[in-house]
Amino acid sequence: MTQKILNYLKEYSTDPNRINKLFVSTYLRLNGLIVRNNLFLINFQIHEHDGDDYNALINFYNIILSEKKTLGIEDLIELFEFVISPAEKEVNGAVYTPKYIRDFIVKETLSKYSKFSHVIEQTKFGDIACGCGGFFYTLASELKSLTNKSYFEIFRDNIFGLDIQAYSIERSKILLSLLAISKGEDRTEFEFNLFQGNALNFDWQTVPTIAANDGFDIIIGNPPYVGASKIDDESRMLLGNWSVASSGKSDLYIPFFEIGMENLNSNGVLGYITVNTFYKSLNGRAVRSYFSSNKFEISIVDFGGEQLFRKRSTYTCICIIGKKPSLFVKYIKSVSSNIDSIRKQDYLTIPYSELDDYEGWQLLADQTKYIINQIQNTGTPLGKKFEIRNGFATLKNDVFVFKPIEQDNNYYSFEKGGKEFRVEKGICRNAIKPNTLKLEAEIEQNTVKLIFPYFVTTTENELFGNQKRVLNIMNEEYLLSQYPLAYQYLALHKIELQNRDKGNREYEKWYAFGRNQALTYHGYKIFFPYISSAPCFVITEDQDFLFYNGYAVISDNLIELKILQKILMSKIFWYYIINTSKPYSGMFFSLAKNYVKNFGICDLSETEKRKLLHLNDIQMIDDFLLHKYNINLE
């Protein structure tokens, strides 16, 4: 769709009925179609006597004519997804699924199911989060080409759908009706099996046809893209009905695997385009266990760091899953444009017995898997040898964090919102974002100040002699008397600070940070970012340095950290990350603790430590470590 078309729709209306009428009338007019019999579509036609709506139709018709010349069903699918408001997309996770992806899923599921049944005419297809019906359009077109059935019969006998939004169900009916009428099938009424409801608690056994069939033969679709923090209250309560949502903070797409599989019959096949992190992520542990315990026949086409959906930072894969048991998972990594050229022999075949449901599935070729295992089994895992920590979380960094523009012996000056403020130096701490760093030399220029309304005291355990750092927040009277400028500045933002977490949380003090994590960390640190396209590990010798929006390895042994830095900057570490971590676009990879903690840190003698510390040539460091890990990456 061109920007001119989208801009017009932004200004036109948010009313679903007006939008539907505009689209239906424009489609019919541009394609020279007249609806004579279908009562449903007749209700969506705009006529000359409809005043402003008719003028809008003419304007939109002319824009489409000048920008695109034509308007097909595929264009309507994309337009329907576009006019869902951004807020609703956030809640319901609707996205436009490209035609070539839908084509692939429909053909692959049909191919797998046809091994068990040659009676395609009677196959029961479901999409349990159908949105505006894109998959139904693809499916109905495919069934029409494979059978002698009319669209009326296909809609009545073969297609079953569910969506949480009533307007999505209505739009699915519109698309299917327009498909039939555009092919010359103008019935007074079509019979649809399309229901409004929440997939998390909808009972398909109450639908007689599905109950009689002992479930669906094929379920296809694109489960909603809603992160754990965005799930509505009703759905959050219903997540507990599904075992796969029991690990970590479950995103909404995860239970759709179990819902789909549990609503298939014994020969059934599921085909989804969905998020590709389930086979590695913490919140995917339960769904991995679900697949492994049932030994489902699963094939994954992984698009890695490719962003398939426009304006969505979502990384996806296609899963084709058979209800019949298998001893193997099949896997291939591909760019989406190459999916039609994938052959059966291109997939890696990995036994379930070799997969780790808890830590994450390593879907790797044998040689790569051997190297990864060699790395993980060398020395001591990083997560056991060193502390890996998240940075602090004020939940309002734009209030607490600032970059000084001037300073004297007692005060820092800075600007916020076009105004200049001063605060006392005594209440401030040095802080940094690890993702701003590539070299130690950049630390000073990227250091910011953190207003820190806390005391950190050190206590000593009399029995064991070890020290513990204790955090206490300043009381309001002390803050006002000792740091009046900082207090006045924070007081200007009091309402803003109180409304963190949407005002649903009661803070110890209104000026307390969102979380107390990382506020007592003391020691030498290696900073590193959340994601990176290359090794990026920077050491600071300032033991009181605080950090945010990133990670740090913390130790009281500076020499050990410098040795670790050499290892983490090596070719071996980055090979490990590329093959085990979560990918992002632009060849960036996650450096989250879950992905780095199992990297093996090789044991070194004192002589080897001294040698490694004095090596500065990258190639010589890599050669030294390749020998220590006893691997060949060539």
- The DSSP bridge partners found for residue 420 are 415
pLDDT at 378: 97
Give the angle 216-256-116 at the CA atoms, nearest 5°: 30
Share of the chain above pLDDT 90, in %: 79
pLDDT in tens, 405-450: 999 999 999 999 899 999 999 999 999 999 989 999 999 999 999 9
Whether residue 560 contacts residue 621, with contact meaning beta carbons closer than 8 Å, is answered with no
Is residue 112 predicted with pLDDT exceeding 60?
yes
Q: Which regions of 296-398 does DSSP assign to beta strands (E)?
A: 296-302, 316-325, 328-333, 348-351, 380-381, 387-390
> In whole angstroms, what is the distance from residue 61 CA to residue 284 CA?
47
pLDDT band at 84 (very low <50, low <70, confident <90, very high): low
8-state DSSP, 515: B
Alpha-carbon gap, residue 326 to 358, rounded angstroms: 20
pTM: 0.86
Tally Cβ neighbours within 10 Å of residue 479: 19
- The residues, ordered by sequence, that sit 6+ positions from 616 with a Cβ below 8 Å of its Cβ are none
Mean of the pLDDT values across residues 327-349?
95
> Domains of the chain by range and CATH?
1-71 (no CATH), 72-363 (3.40.50.150), 393-516 (no CATH)
What pLDDT is attached to residue 94?
A: 62
Q: Residue 43 in 3-state DSSP?
A: coil
Lookup result for tokens 């479950």:
250
Residue position matching structure tokens 């000084």: 404
Write out pLDDT tens, residues 27-82: 999 999 999 999 999 999 999 998 899 999 999 999 998 888 889 999 999 888 77
Integer Cα distance of 188 and 46 in angstroms? 19
Q: Determine the distance from the C-alpha atom of residue 394 to the mean position of all C-alpha atoms in its chain, rounded to a whole number.
A: 24
In sequence order, which residues have a C-beta less than 8 Å from that of residue 102 and are 6 or more positions away? 134, 135, 137, 138
For residue 330, pLDDT over 70 is answered with yes
Mean pLDDT of the chain: 92
- Of 25-34, 84-93, 202-211, 561-570, minimum mean pLDDT range: 84-93
Residue whose C-alpha is closest to residue 132's, from 101, 185, 171, 105: 171
Beta strand extents in 36-124 (DSSP E only): none
Structure tokens at 510: 């209104």
- Quote the pLDDT of residue 634: 80
Q: Tell me the mean pLDDT in the region 87-106.
A: 76
pLDDT digits (tens, 9 = 90+) for 171-186: 999 999 999 999 999 9
Burial class (CB in 10 A: 0-12, 13-18, 19+), 487: buried
**pLDDT band (50, 70, 90) for residue 1:** low
